[in-house]
Structure 1
Amino acid sequence: MRATEAGLCYLDDARQILARLEAADEAALGINADPRGHLSVTAPVMFGRTFVMPGIVDYLQRYPGTELDAVFLDRVINLLEEGLDVGVRIGELPDSSIRALRVGEVHMVVVASPACIAAHGAPSDPRDLHEHTIVASSAGNFDAAWRFHPGLGEYPLRLQPRLKVTTNDAALAAAVEGFGITRLVSYQAVSELQCGRSQLRLQEFEPPPLARTHRAS
């Protein structure tokens, strides 16, 4: 028993259709193909500039068929409403159906310049900060009160800043110039701490670490 000419043609057509379906599935899944298309990423300003941007540049150089929008803001925005694909967040995340992956921890730290400490002394207790010049940043979504852990429990310390700024790098700059004491997320002060232009204060009273989280919609 042999296939007719029409049957052989039908078999060949069916094989081509199946092959095209398989190729379409692979194309949709990105199998055997470099990433292509548009991606939107958001992160806090200083963290994005320091840690996310190098990865973005590397990604774009590695995959020429991609385009990317980097949205660096010191406020939390809704990924779905703003049409963003990936977000890096610092702090506790609210309950959500968005997938998230914990990638590290950071701390809230109090920093001051050596000149400031030499002129006004170093605080040995959080309450000593009432006697110092305070620089405060409104960036991010952190409580305006500075929170500390004095052994057991937690208490908020409400201070009256002499200087208020809207960005963390501006607060750090004022502290480095010796104007006063400020509070930042640990990664924001790394370079100034390493070169000795600022110093950590009240480390023994630091609150628990904050989670640094990568989110994808």
Structure 2
Amino acid sequence: MDRLHLMTVFVAVGEEESFAGGARRLGMSPPAVTRAIAALEERLGVRLLERTTRHVRVTEAGQRYLDDARRIIAEADEADEAAAGSNAAPRGHLSVTAPVLFGRHYVTPGIVDYLRRYPGMEVNAMFVDRVTNMMEEGIDVGVRIGELPDSSMRAVPVGHVRRVICAAPSYLAAYGAPQTPEQLAQHTIVQSAGSSTPPDWRFASAGRVQSLRFQPRLVVNSNDAAIEAVRQGFGVTRLLSYQAAPLLASGELQLVLEDYATPGIPVNIVHRDSRQGSVRIRSFVDLMAGRLRAEPILRSKK
């Protein structure tokens, strides 16, 4: 069998963790998928998958091969696209990631626009409030909020967001609004414990940045839950400006301590760097960058 075909089958089974799921993705019969995996393992002389009655898991060797196979398939696709010409309409599959609320409100409309423009494309969107390893998880494009570490990824700046502190009008009417950061210690704190949320709250004043840590009465593992708690009048929380924007606009939340706001946090679209430049990735990044740069919520650094 063709080696690239065998790799494609293995990637589908490994990502789906199922022979049947891989077969459905590729439009193949389950027996054909089973034969392809057996042929690949025989050719390599190593077991790539561990099979049980309920699950399929990649082995340690299989995980290394899965990462390499994804890269090789992507480079082959890019070579085809480059040969077909930069004006060819994108076709195929694209994987995209972003934080949950940002993905829901700002990335999903862009994905819908993209799919309407390019009928030959399919998109898998994974919205999670954690930093994904795009190479290991086979993701083509991601939206990152925060400073970027050095990596092989290419970054396209699209704007800034900022951290804001807010509470419901009913809470502020009952307990008063804090006038200084230190006064937050006397208030009910609701804090999200997401992996991208630092525990220290930072404030800017007189040209310097001050970090404070408060004892929260409620800790939740999602920004949605923190927003809902304070919307109901239970305490003060810290959010990113885009997360709070709808409720600030409706008057359900109010900002506090605005004079102590820290500088904006960069927002970037990141994607794999490649020599050929994938038409699929390039067309999506161009569309999404244009949409995000036009969003008012991303324009201010202050």
- For structure 2, the 5+ residue unaligned runs are 1-78, 273-302
Shift of 1:32: 4.0
1:207 is matched by which residue type in structure 2? T
Whether the aligned pair in 2 keeps the contact of 1:151 and 1:205 (CA below 8 Å) is no
1:133 is matched by which residue type in structure 2? T
1:169 aligns with 2:224: yes
Quick one: distance in 1 between partners of 2:82 and 2:152?
27
Quick one: distance in 1 between partners of 2:190 and 2:212?
14
**Which secondary structure does the structure 1 equivalent of 2:270 belong to?**
strand
* Superposition RMSD in Å: 1.5
Structure exhibiting the larger radius of gyration computed from Cα positions? 1
1:58-87: CA deviations, max 9, x gaps?
A: 111221111111011111011111111000
Quick one: distance in 1 between partners of 2:121 and 2:155?
23
1:137 is matched by which residue type in structure 2? S
**Which secondary structure does the structure 2 equivalent of 1:60 belong to?**
helix
Residue among 137, 140, 145 paired with 1:90? 145
| 1:37-48 equivalent positions in 2, closer than 5 A | 37-48=92-103
Partner of 1:18: none
Residue among 119, 138, 141 paired with 2:174? 119
1:124-169: CA deviations, max 9, x gaps?
A: 0001000000000012413111111122322211101101111111
Residue among 132, 137, 140 paired with 2:187? 132
- The aligned length equals 194
TM-score, normalisation: structure 2: 0.62
Quick one: distance in 2 between partners of 1:212 and 1:26?
29
1:183 is matched by which residue type in structure 2? R
Shift of 1:30: 4.5
**Which secondary structure does the structure 2 equivalent of 1:81 belong to?**
coil
Quick one: distance in 2 between partners of 1:195 and 1:216?
35
- For structure 1, the 5+ residue unaligned runs are 1-23
Partner of 1:210: 265
Indicate the percent of aligned positions where both proteins have the same amino acid. Answer: 56
Quick one: distance in 1 between partners of 2:221 and 2:196?
12
Higher helix share: 2
1:124 is matched by which residue type in structure 2? Q
Quick one: distance in 2 between partners of 1:191 and 1:94?
30
Residue among 84, 101, 109 paired with 2:164? 109
Structure 1 segments of 4 or more deviating over 2 A? 24-33
Quick one: distance in 2 between partners of 1:170 and 1:122?
22
1:31-74: CA deviations, max 9, x gaps?
A: 44321000000000000000000111111122111111101111
| 1:1-217 equivalent positions in 2, closer than 5 A | 28-217=83-272
Quick one: distance in 1 between partners of 2:225 and 2:263?
25
1:110 is matched by which residue type in structure 2? I
Whether the aligned pair in 2 keeps the contact of 1:26 and 1:32 (CA below 8 Å) is no
